Amino acid sequence: MKRPVARKSRPVKRSHHVAVLGAGIMGSTTALMLAQKGVSTTLFDAADEPMFRASRWNEGKIHLGFLYAADPSLQTARRLLPGGLAFKGLVERLIGSSLDQQTTPEGEIFLVHDSSIVSADATARYLGAVADLVREAKEASGYLADVSDCMIEVLSRQDIDRIADTRNIIAAYRVPERSVSTNWIADRYVEAISSEARIEPMFRRRVTRVRPTDGSINDQWVVETGTEVHGPFDFVVNALWEGKLFFDSMLHMPPEWEWSHRYRLSLFIRTDRPNAAPSAVVITGPFGDMKNYNDRDFYLSWYPAGLVTECRSIQPPYSPEIRSAEREQIEQSIVNKLAEIIPAASSIYRQRQSVRLEGGWVFAMGAGWLGDPRSTLHRRDRIGLRRVGTYISVDTGKYSIAPWLALEVVDLTSGY
């Protein structure tokens, strides 16, 4: 897989200044990369600090494509693979710290449920095809673990019985994908941004309008946050999630495909003692996830229980208010439903020293229910950059691909 092709850079104008909308992993990475190239950047976000919502509170899977067996064309795998392979090197250079101690120590176990929309045999064929793609990639040794000899392990019934309830799980495979602690990475990003003099932080400011200064999309821009007007900027990079389509549409860039906004919550647990439970995920149907980062810090998710609301409006409402009693109900439902498949979820919850129910809006070019084979959410290849003049909109698609996409954004803007 090839990274985006860099164009020959031209000298940067003295007044060069870029506005980045959204301080999740996409916007924060873009701002840091631009700053490292000497480009002044103003970073806007409605939150109190960078990486405050979904980019901090997610499972941190660094995708190689194995999860998308419902897209047998391999288009999703091919799209996600280069970003996953590049993630470690790019992020470590940005934050100046190693990810080794913040990475799940083993490959993850994929569990095939008896109501999965993809059969066990079809899943095995798909995983093997993705493994072939990984082995062929020149960058395979640069992943979170060296995957240049990528292999898929088929678990025996005895192995499955030690992990899951075999009444519902019909097959299991260990794949080489790993996950990272997004909370830890978010803290490092906050430190890096606060120490970078070329990044002007504009937090607690909700962007309300983006417009060219003289009506030309090829010239400079201003960004409005309520009554404040900021700029001019040579480029605007729209790295928002729940606000992305709204500003794109204002600039006559309607969505090319169907889309959805989903507000999801998951559990982040620290136990009072070590627990060696494996990282496992129930795939392509009833969907649940358990991550073990270091035997003390865990992520638990059961998709139907944690899905608070969803919508298909251009701009979803602000984060919903969830009452204490409702939060407790969601928390218990996640644990109980996940434990029906992966019993270790119960022991992790019983051993909790601390627990947080967190998440945020998730944007995707796709819609439908994951249990429906016709859902376009099973494809994640419709991601990347769109541009009109000096306005660039980025659909990250997945946390893991953001740093790789940021390379392309930086090439377009820093060489202006």
Instruction: Give 317-362 pLDDT, tens digit per residue.
Output: 777 888 889 999 999 999 999 999 999 999 999 999 999 999 988 8
What's the maximum distance between 2 C-alpha atoms anywhere in the chain? 69
CA-based nearest residue to 41, from 11, 16, 71:
16
Give the pLDDT of residue 333.
97
Q: Quick check: 176 and 150 in contact, CB under 8 A?
A: yes
Instruction: Tell me the pLDDT tens digit for each residue of 13-50.
Output: 445 899 999 999 999 999 999 999 999 999 999 999 99
CA-based nearest residue to 134, from 73, 65, 62, 60:
65
Q: Quick check: 266 and 59 in contact, CB under 8 A?
A: yes
Q: What one-letter code names the amino acid at 220?
A: Q
Q: What is the pTM of this model?
A: 0.92
Element (H, E) at 271: strand 260-271
Element (H, E) at 61: strand 61-62
| Domains parsed from the chain with CATH numbers | 1-60+181-256+372-416 (3.50.50.60)
Give the pLDDT of residue 217.
85
- Show the low-confidence residues of the chain (pLDDT under 70): 1-15, 415-416
Give the pLDDT of residue 415.
62
In order of 20, 223, 243, 389, 390, the CA distances from 214 in angstroms are 20, 13, 24, 13, 13
